[in-house]
Amino acid sequence: MNNCAPIIRRSLKREREKFLPGVVLSFTKLMHPPERFGRRPRIVGLIELENGRRVLGALLSDAFIGQSVRPRMRLSHVTAEGLRVYETAYEAAGKAVAPQAFPGYILALTGPSGVGKSTISRMLARAFSEYAASVPILTTREQKPGDEGEYVYTAREEFERLQRTGAIVAATRIPSSSEDRRYGYRAADIEAIWSAGKLPVVVTELHLLEDLARHYGRRAILSFGLLPPGRTKRAKLSQLLHRLRARGRDSEEHIRDRLKNAERDLAFFRERKDLFDHIVVNEDLSSMLDYMRKKVSGLSGA
Amino acid sequence: MRQDIFLAGSGLTRFGEWWEKSLRDLMSEAATAALRSSGMSPLEIDLVVVANMLAETANDQAGLGALASSLFPHRPPALRVEAACGSGSLALHTACAFLESGRAKTVLVLGAEKMTDAPANAVAEALMGAADGELDAPSGITFPGIFGLIGQRYMHEYDLTREQLSVVSAVHHRNAMDNPFAHFRQELSPEAVSASPLVSDPLRLFDCSPVSDGAAACILSTARRSPLRIAASQVASDTLSITERPTIVSFPATREAMSRALLEAGIERSDIRAVETHDCFSIAAVINVEDLGFAREGEGIRLYEEAYAGHPSLFVNMSGGLKACGHPVAATGLKQLIDAGKHLERASIRYGLAHNFGGAGAACGIHILENIEA
């Protein structure tokens, strides 16, 4: 119901009225916010604005009672119908927040297993070898025949240690029927590519993409969503199944896992349109590559 | 009260997850039990008042008055009352008004909620209907979140600790062990409460009442006497949104309903020995005993610490409260009255009280029950 256009339109007016500095009267960290706000915990504060009004609003960092906060208008979420919902959130006013230095671009390719991400990234890397380099994926999973140097293997304990120290900027768990795998990106790998004057390319999935956008800022990412052809979900999944079997890399059991994950991914694509600059359908590899080359060239000036 | 109104009969389903029972089944079970306990004929029911909050969203069902009426051979007039979690007590209050005016002599009040028909996240969103859709919901707050804000502020103002708060649910669980109608009948240590998963800081899973199915029915009558008399029935309201209130560590609606109820019953607060209060979250129980006037501000936890140590000065939530009995939203207010009555009869106490609210204290209903044989 709260997705209806008139409600969203009226809410924008109210959010604008909330755009005032204030003081935190109380706060809480919601471990399970309503679905439309994503899966991450959300901190909501009761704030007394400088005009005396009290409001509820998202807090952008850990808070304490009595903290001074200032407003920031931001995209709250995108509805399934594609409507963008904005909200007034609040950030600590105490510490001067330096305008975040723009570190450089990351090229992200996201899509379900079997959509052709690796092939495309390889072709892009070849075409742009002077400008682009793949970011290795840190993983706790076992090495498999067919892996092509895109992974760096590590033990679970080491992975968790790196996560704690902040050396990993994006991480996800992909449970499968056989094991609990972790995947992530190290800041050092990405920054090394930047310092070499190149464009880091990540072949990734949605949680990692979310983390990267959070860490480096959404505008630092040129984000392509890759979808298999097919009008319905069933048609898309059947395409993926076909491709996964054809490439002969996975056991039938792993293919089942991957398809299950792919089904989740397809739903997530609908919910998180805001994470993508371009959604491309991999109907024909060469025309898709041309399209992407144009977009990337525009960026790198190549 | 302008008439002597008696609790002539009552019935409960056990609260819990009833996958095989529908909303209608639960209503029928509680109503049948109430009629049986009263010894009355169904034909003596002049009016049915139904309390329910979520039937449209959880059960695709509106028109609950007619649905309840169809349980009776003579199809008595029926209506529905909604005040979120306070629906039960507001339905009782509505029934009292009909009885006092003489429009009815015997009213069946029926509170029912069938929550497990909808997925948990849909139920959570629907429960947010008890907060303000324009002022509260757009921030992403949930109901546990609202009480998280309240708890955080309360802890800040009164230095209540996490360990102290955990005693509340432990007491409720212990009280429920002898209650055959309770959702949870196992002991829960304060340590287990403190160690349960975080839901909305500082509240943890075991600070929260569960999602339950259940129904409760009370037969209120001016024609049929019973040992239990309704000595007062009062309701009070507050703003729906906590953002429009001067304080969030007290619920003024409770205070107002309580002072009017004492006046109506013509008794002192100290005459009341047994209380069923609305502990939708542990922090609410602490605030409620203060608002009801049984503890000073910031000292509500003491009543629970005394109870946990085994020497209670007041019987609070002897049924197990919402935490251990379960909280099928609109059935709760009726269940509280029934449980208060059971405790009065069991312990030969004269006055007991049922305190029920909807939202974060937005609509409060208080009923004082007198055991005329004590």
Residue B369 tokens read as 């029950």
Cβ of B138 within 8 Å of Cβ of A2? The answer is: yes
Three-state SS for B70? coil
State pLDDT tens for residues B186-224: 999 999 999 999 999 999 999 999 999 999 999 999 999
Residue B152 in any domain: the answer is no
Cβ neighbors of B333 (< 8 A, separation 6 or more) are B51, B85, B86, B87, B88, B89, B90, B91, B92, B111, B354, B356, B365
The pLDDT value recorded for residue A236 is 83
A-to-B residue pairs, Cβ atoms closer than 8 angstroms: 96
Q: What is the ipTM of this complex?
A: 0.94
Q: Any idea of the CA torsion for B195, B121, B180, B174, to the nearest 10 degrees? A: 20
Intra-chain end-to-end CA distance of chain A, in Å: 47
**Residues of B with catalytic function:** 85, 327
Phi/psi for A210 (5° steps) reads: -55, -45
> CATH no. for residue B66?
3.40.47.10
- Binary contact (B198, A31; C-beta < 8 A): yes
Q: What is the reported pTM?
A: 0.71
Q: Cα torsion for B25, B56, A80, A62, to the nearest 10°?
A: -90
Amino acid B198 reads L
Domains of chain A: 5-92 (2.40.50), 106-300 (3.40.50.300)
Q: Which of residues 41-60 of A touch B (CB under 8 A)?
A: 42, 44-46, 53-58
B204 CB neighbours in chain A (<8 A) are: none
pLDDT tens digit sequence for A233-290: 888 888 888 888 887 777 888 888 888 888 877 877 777 778 888 888 877 777 777 8
CA distance B89 to chain A (A): 28
The pLDDT of residue A230 is above 90: no
CB contact under 8 A, B152 and A32: no
Tokens coding B313? 């000065």
Residue B126, domain member (yes or no):
no
Contact A275, A208 (CB under 8 A): no
Average pLDDT over residues B24-42: 98
Phi, psi of B57 (to 5 degrees): -85, -40
Number of domains in chain B: 1
Nearest C-alpha in B relative to A36: B140
Residues of B with CB under 8 A from a CB of A: 121, 124-125, 128, 133-142, 144-145, 148-153, 156, 197-203, 242-244, 248
In-domain check, residue B330: no
Looking at the complex, does the CB of residue A32 fall below 8 Å from at least one CB of chain B? yes
Query: Do B140 and A55 make contact, defined as CB atoms within 8 angstroms?
Result: no
Buried b or exposed e, range B122-146, using 16+ CB within 10 angstroms: ebbbbbbbbbbeebbbbbbbbbbbb
Using pLDDT thresholds of 50, 70 and 90, give the confidence band for residue A226: confident
CA distance A69 to A63: 9
Chain B within 8 Å of A230 (Cβ-Cβ)? no
A270 three-state secondary structure: helix
Taking 90 as the threshold, does the pLDDT of residue B243 lie above it? yes
Give the integer Cα–Cα distance in Å for B104 and B108. Answer: 10
Q: What is the DSSP string of A213-268?
A: HHHH-GGGEEEEEEE-S-SSHHHHHHHHHHHHHHHT-S-HHHHHHHHHHHHHHHHH
Is B114 a domain residue?
A: yes
- When pLDDT is averaged across residues A178-205 and rounded to a whole number, the result is 86
Query: What pLDDT sits at residue A117?
Result: 78
Residue-number span of the structural domain to which B216 is assigned? 5-119+212-221
Average pLDDT over chain B reads 97
Residues B182, A221: Cα–Cα separation, whole Å: 53
* Confidence (pLDDT) at A173: 83
What pLDDT, on a 0 to 100 scale, did the predictor assign at position A102?
64
Residue A298 has a pLDDT of: 62
Please give the Cα distance from B88 to B8 (Å, whole number): 17
Retrieve residue B176's tokens.
């429920």
A98, pLDDT greater than 60:
no
Domain-located, residue B81: yes
Q: What is the pLDDT of residues A72-94, one digit of tens each?
A: 999 998 888 888 899 999 999 86
Q: Which residue of A has its CA nearest to B197?
A: A31
Q: Over 60: is that where the pLDDT of A101 sits? A: no
Over 60: is that where the pLDDT of A97 sits? no
Question: Which residues on B lie below 8 Å from A32 (Cβ)?
Answer: 121, 124, 142, 199
Q: Is the pLDDT higher at B243 or at A280?
A: B243
Structural domain includes residue B90:
yes
Q: What's the average model confidence in pLDDT over B104-113?
A: 98
Q: What percent of chain A has pLDDT over 90?
A: 23
Q: A-chain residues within 8 Å CB-CB of B134?
A: 10-11, 14
Specify the DSSP class assigned to residue A45. E
pLDDT at A160: 87
Q: Do A30 and B200 touch (CB under 8 A)?
A: yes
Q: Of the segments A169-183, B120-134, B170-184, which one has the largest average pLDDT value?
A: B170-184
CA distance A15 to chain B (A): 9
- For chain A, what percentages of helix, strand and coil (3-state, to nearest 5) are there? 40, 30, 35
pLDDT at B139 over 90: yes
Mean pLDDT of B127-151: 96
Give the best residue of A26, A29, A59 to mutate against chain B (max B CB count within 10 A). Answer: A26
Contact B137/A2, CB-based, under 8 Å? Answer: yes
Residue in A13, A30, A37, A67 to test binding to B, most B beta-carbons within 10 Å: A30
What φ, ψ does residue B251 adopt, rounded to 5°? -110, 100
Q: Is residue B176 part of a domain?
A: no
CB contact under 8 A, A87 and B139: yes
* pLDDT tens readout for residues A131-183: 888 898 999 888 877 777 788 898 888 998 888 888 888 888 876 666 778 88
